[in-house]
Chains A and B, each alone.
Chain A
Amino acid sequence: MSTRIANQGRLIDRSKPVRFTFNGKSLQGYAGDTLASALLANDQMLVGRSFKYHRPRGIVASGAEEPNALVGLGQGETFEPNQRATTTELFDGLTAQSQNHWPSLEFDIGAVNSAFARFLPGGFYYKTFIHPRAFWKHVYEPFIRQSAGLGKAPKDRDADTYEHFYVFADLVVIGGGVAGLQAAKAAGETGARVLLIEQTAHWGGRAPVDGGEIDGMAPEDWIAQTLDALRAMPNVTLRARCMGSGVYDHGYVLGYERLTDHAPETAGPRHRLWRIRAGQVITATGAIERPLSFAGNDVPGVMLASAMRDYAVNYGVAPGRRVIVVTNNDDAYRTAIALKRAGIDVLRVLDARTSGGGALMEEAKAQGIRIDCGRAIAKVTGGKRVAKVAICAQEGQGAALEEVACDAVAMSGGWSPVVHLWSHCGGKLIWDDAWAMFRPDPARAPTGADGRPFVTAAGAANGELTLGATLADADAAGKAAAKSAGFKPRRIRTPQGSVTDEAPLVPVWLMPRAAKVELRAKAWLDYQNDVKVSDVQLAAREGYESVEHTKRYTTLGMATDQGKLSNINGLATLSEALGEAIPQVGTTTFRPPYTPISFGAIAGEARGAVFQPLRRTPIHDWHEAHGATWEPVGQWRRPYTYPQNGETPHDAVMREVRNTRQAVGMLDASTLGKILVRGPDAGRFLDLLYTNMMSTLKPGKCRYGLMCSENGFLMDDGVVARIDEETFLCHTTTGGAEHIHAHMEEWLQTEWWDWQVYTANVTEQYAQIAVVGPKARAVLEKLGGMDVSKETLPFMAWADGTLGGIGVRLYRISFSGELSYEIAVRAGQGRALWDRLTQAGAEFGMMPYGTEALHIMRAEKGFIMIGDETDGTVIPQDLGLGWAISKKKEDYLGKRAQQRSHMTDPTRWKLVGLETLDGGVLPDGAYAVAEGTNANGQRNVQGRVTSTYQSPTLGRGIAMGLVLHGPDRMGEVLEFPGTDGKISKARIVDPVFYDKDGEKQNV
């Protein structure tokens, strides 16, 4: 049955019908409808089930504050749970499903919870489900999890894309109601860059529905005129469907723009996150109406009075045919009048105030609406829809005076300014007794880095609830904010809004005032989470007295609407229970986002392959084409090995090691960090950074160096080459380049800022190729161009020259123990050099090798690897690297730390080699056990494996490890239990397994 009203609906286009489905039923609405208005138009008041009791839930609100009307939207890769029907614009083909019920919305088994509601008060689960112990995990918890949870989990990968915008603005105005429009205009006139954002698709907010006049015009005309003026200003940007999500420190604001939610077939990203740096922020976010707490206020058909008016005026929908209005303030009379005008029966206005209202009441009366003052609702009855209302005196316990059959109730408990964005970044609130609401305290605004306020609230968001006051306030806010942002306000006229003579509101936190406990146990505060007045009272009685305790104990305000309707009512209930004034009880914290924002939007463009930058060496494509398997190292990917003809990766690695040791191999070493350190003080700087002496290094020479943290732990190693008197090139590990560079800069900028040293991370400027093995020299000679003999270029020297026609810098350094050259070229020539080397090397049997072969070869030589032998707890002295620590230097980073008692303790574990007795490979990370257990009952240990490999060169497993008194215990056998219970035995040996005298690298 359609509930459309003939003469209303300013936002819908009746010439454009739109088809959609709800729970599989095909329904029709109009362009301009929200899903909520279209559902109501089809008389679908029941839209979901509550969280805890699975109570039937209807639409209560018309905007972002809606707690009930949450649906699953779309299907498959576009399925989205918990979407608010009130903020979902209708489009052709929309599919929606209601949530949290089984088997169906109308008949939900979970609703038995409702029958037991009395046994499930707030926090009941803390008192129950305690015994027997195993039941929590296996019985109670699965049941609770299944019955909670609202929407279904999406199953598929998201089909949509998202993007981020980065924006600077002098002023961001959040909220496009009349206050936001006027604030933006007043500021825009000064020339300031203004960004005005509005969460809905429409400008003007509530004014067109609420009526009144601005400068003698209907609000709609004034809005149109102001929009024209704003659009004509080049310095003003307007964005509808863009919600102010959060205000953060230093003027950082997030805007959440929904680009295609209302038109999914449109190309382009679905959401756009605006990352705004604002000089000033105005929150013109309006106010939200509060429900009243009476028994049965959660029955579908009970709705906020303002929402009912919205549905009638904006969408031409009658949420009911026979309506009772209940209120404690004048605004609800606007609803009564609007409904009456739309042809809906307004049976009664129940005004809890004994003396009723002002001019609006008179107007309603004049229209023939019956008004009962001092009256309240004792109870609403009805299952899935309001059936009747029991009326009582507000002062009393709820004895029914009369029962009236009706199908909808419009309620108004007053208004609360939307202070969320004001509060996100520390703005404080004051309690306004006259309107019974928290409003922003202008004296305690959020402050920026300079200690000055950067957020101003304007209009209803600032507690100005009449049209006239709202416009004046917004105008002043716009001008003041522009001035704070450094612009000169222009003297332009403030628009005049009409002011209705309204009678004061009388706070009503419980209806009737002395409602009996049976009624209080049916008076809902939080509709989604099922928190009632009696629950908050229980929390107070049990000592959960702070608002935060009450909130957490009862879950009040923690649902997906974040308590937009329930917070103030809950707080007032608590304060009455405690006998304290509301401001003494305080508010809970407002946390971003204002309404939930999609994870997709937060992540933005960086997804899939571009989720993190992928760093490729200039030779990457060649590796790819030659079947490399990859190992991620930081943001790089390095070839792990290059399997050939169906080899297993393990066999490939073995082949690569053998080939390199016996003939020649090549490695793409481009990822190694390369940091240029230059300046008159460069030598002195490096002497402090490295444990070795670097200032004495001669140009043309290289030195292996160690870097320690302030705490003395080894953090990186690498070869340093002195390029000229003032220039050093420091090689770091692949993973270390960025943080070592940052480490250098930190010291330079914070401690030695007066030294003349400059650093540049040139890692990506060079490609570097290692040519390694007994035939390495022959390969380079074949390429020709420079003298690569031992005499001209001895071990640990470098030289500039050309190879195969390409300008190179050639280092004689080795990480494998073989004759080895590392060739650095400009990155752009990396691939050309690689190709030439491959050609030249072919006749010598040259093959590429990957990281695993590299690791094995270094382990065979007993070279340590940062991250294997070190883990942030190891000092160079543990690793037998004392030779790399200069004794001559007065200081280096870590020196003092290395003198502390634990660092010089002779029982520190020291590096040794480990050889399994059976030739097998020791398990990675295994510990060597000792006798007995410690004071905590843990098995004593005396060492551990740091690296372990199958060595093709030695034909057996080899390992390195740190062992208690290790170097003094050569030949001893240790036991290493595996996680599988198997014990491996290994003998302590020298860590250098291959070419102990280092003859091979020195040829």
Chain B
Amino acid sequence: MKRYSAFAVAREALSYHTGWGRAWRAPEPKPRYDVIIVGAGGHGLATAYYLGKNFGITNVAVLEKGWLGGGNTGRNTTIIRSNYLQDPSAAIYEKSRALYENLSQDLNYNVMFSPRGVIMLAQTEHEVRGYRRTAHANALQGVTTEWISPARVKELVPIINLDGPRYPVLGGLWQARGGTARHDAVAWGYARACSAMGMDIIQQCEVTGVRREGGKVMGVDTTRGAIDCDKLGIVVAGHSGVLADMAGFRLPIESVALQALVSEPIKPCMDVVVMANTVHGYMSQSDKGEMVIGGGADGYNNYTQRGSFHHVEETVRALIETFPMISRLKMLRQWGGIVDMTGDRSPILSKTPVEGVFINCGWGTGGFKAIPGSGWGMAELIAKGHSPLTDAFSLDRFKEGRFIDESVAAGVAH
């Protein structure tokens, strides 16, 4: 594999770039792997990567029914932050954010992590108290956040309207090293690095069954034949319920379509990410200049990966109140992605009732930011049977009532 650098690009320019090889191989499935990961989204690929990097386990296949990164990893609005309230959440999201800082260098692939800062606006007294509490919690969790005044908000976001007639901005929770990254690049970078370690990423390969014997996993059936494995990691986000069903257990997950949209590109006018949870909307500006906007999920469970209009309307309305200058911008495209929601809105990283089967799901509306940290913890869980990053997120918690509820800190959890 050729290393990427400005120098390499210049060298290849001489031959009009006809000398570049594949970023990842396209192998045929082998009959058996030590570990099979189902789902080549960010979480699946990161899990494979850290299995290899941290535990030397490289006889690994990542099976993907469509194209890698084509699920929510390639559909999300890329907000990265770790200012969560509960200890287990803050731990895994901060681990993740910290890994993002060096991810481009680590993968030799520019994932464009941009720690431009994230503000969560407080627009009611209730929110003020909630974010003050989060700031206190973060300080003890080793997450750097700060409660900031409306004047400071305005300084960071000159286009904001602080005193909207309905919900004036009372301050905000600021995480200076939160930000965004290029979603596709995260999937592609991990895929390239996995492939380089000798792992097989097999696209167009849908898992259709999980083979078990005596409560233990033996392998999977796929559209490209049966494949054996010792351990199986299910990392398929919105389709987790379907895969769990194949493995013979059930999950406390509901699937809904989360909506997002972008505007036409304009010159830079907002350098940070702003989230306004009271009015349900958030916005950032991509490096292309598009305003990237998200808000609500459809009010009913479904599997259609389509944009619908009603939430877009509410979100845009709220954001025009917050940023009046966007009124004359135009919506370029809208889309939806199926998010896997748990009862407490926190993920599941866990062993399962089937020996050798591990599951990573339930990231819902906010798992892009968690990709490196989740992969790190999940790899440890698969390799060693437990991980301090994942222990609290086990499936048992629903039986025990040990929820990790983040709704206190954020109405919209992106």
Contact = CB atoms under 8 A, between A and B. Distances in A.
A5 B329 CA distance: 36
Interface in A114-152: 118-119, 121, 124-131, 133, 136-137, 141-142, 144-146, 148-152
B111 to A, nearest CB: 8
Contact of A149 (B125, B265, B401): B265
A160 B327 CA distance: 9
A597 interface: yes
A542 B20 contact: yes
B335 A152 contact: no
Contact of A596 (B23, B140, B189, B264): B264
Contact of A133 (B105, B167, B268, B400): B105
A15 interface: no
Interface stretch (B43-51, B220-228, B231-239, B312-320): B312-320
A141 B180 CA distance: 12
Interface in A968-991: 977-979
Given A157-B325, A157-B327, A121 B17 contact: yes
Contacts of A591: 307, 333-335
A926 interface: yes
B6 A128 contact: yes
Contacts of B66: 546
B67 A546 contact: yes
B405 interface: yes
A266 interface: no
A121 B18 CA distance: 11
B166 A600 contact: no
A560 interface: yes
Interface string B36-48: 0000000000000
A54 B147 CA distance: 42
A549 interface: yes
B129 to A, nearest CB: 5
Nearest to A896: B401
Interface in B276-301: 279, 285, 287-289
Nearest to A100: B267
Given A538-B20, A596-B330, A936 B165 contact: no
A826 interface: no
A130 B104 contact: yes
A763 to B, nearest CB: 19
Contacts of B108: 130
Nearest to A518: B16
Contact of A924 (B8, B20, B132, B263): B132
A604 B115 contact: no
A38 B357 CA distance: 67
Contact of B133 (A608, A712, A925): A925
A30 interface: no
Contact of B26 (A124, A146, A543): A543
B264 A129 contact: no
Interface string B379-407: 00000000011010000010111110101
A711 B400 contact: no
Contacts of B164: 611
Contacts of B21: 541-542
A145 B268 contact: yes
Of A119, A632, A903, A925, the most chain B CB neighbours within 10 A belong to A925
Contacts of B102: 133
Given A611-B317, A924-B133, A938-B91, A154 B16 contact: no
Nearest to B102: A133
A935 B334 CA distance: 42
A153 B26 CA distance: 43
Given A591-B334, A597-B331, A632 B141 contact: no
Contacts of A254: 309
B54 interface: no
Interface stretch (A42-50, A177-185, A244-252): A244-252
A141 to B, nearest CB: 6
B129 A938 contact: no
A765 interface: no
Contacts of B109: 126-127, 130
A795 interface: no
A804 interface: no
Given A868-B129, A901-B401, A934-B87, A603 B287 contact: no
Contacts of A871: 130, 405, 407-408
Contacts of A133: 101-102, 104-105
B356 interface: no
B136 interface: yes
Contacts, number: 340
Nearest to B139: A979
A756 interface: no
A748 interface: no
Given A938-B142, A977-B139, A612 B104 contact: no
B18 A541 contact: yes
Interface stretch (A79-87, A165-173, A227-235, A479-487): A79-87
A128 B5 contact: yes
A521 B136 contact: no
Given A141-B287, A153-B266, A979-B135, A127 B332 contact: no
Nearest to A633: B124
Contacts of A560: 264-265, 332
A899 to B, nearest CB: 9
Nearest to A735: B126
A816 to B, nearest CB: 19
Given A145-B268, A146-B268, A148-B287, A603 B403 contact: no
Interface in B135-188: 135-137, 139-142, 146-147, 159, 164-167, 182, 184-185, 188
A158 B289 contact: no
B178 to A, nearest CB: 12
Contact of B136 (A541, A633, A926): A926
Interface string B243-269: 000000000000000000001111111
B112 interface: yes
A923 B166 contact: no
A71 interface: no
A897 interface: yes
Contacts of A490: none
A606 B321 CA distance: 10
A249 B304 CA distance: 10
A917 interface: no
A897 B398 CA distance: 10
B8 A923 contact: no
Most buried by A among B266, B335, B401: B401
Contacts of B188: 126, 544, 553
A936 B91 contact: yes
Interface string A498-532: 00000000000000000001101100000000000
B306 to A, nearest CB: 7
B9 A128 contact: yes
Contact of B4 (A127, A602, A900): A127
Contacts of A126: 4, 109-110, 182, 185, 188-189
Contacts of A926: 133, 136
Most buried by B among A543, A612, A640, A872: A543
A726 interface: no
Given A160-B328, A599-B327, 5 more contacts: A119-B13, A548-B74, A596-B263, A871-B405, A927-B136
Interface of B: 4-6, 8-10, 13, 16-18, 20-26, 66-67, 69-70, 74, 87-88, 90-91, 95, 101-102, 104-105, 108-110, 112-116, 123-126, 128-130, 132-137, 139-142, 146-147, 159, 164-167, 182, 184-185, 188-189, 203, 263-269, 279, 285, 287-289, 304, 306-309, 312-313, 316-321, 324-335, 343, 388-389, 391, 397, 399-403, 405, 407-408
12 contacts: A126-B185, A424-B306, A518-B16, A548-B67, A549-B69, A603-B313, A611-B164, A937-B91, A938-B87, A944-B133, A979-B135, A979-B136
* The 3 A-B residue pairs with the shortest CB-CB distance in the complex, in nearest-first order: A925-B133, A149-B289, A596-B330
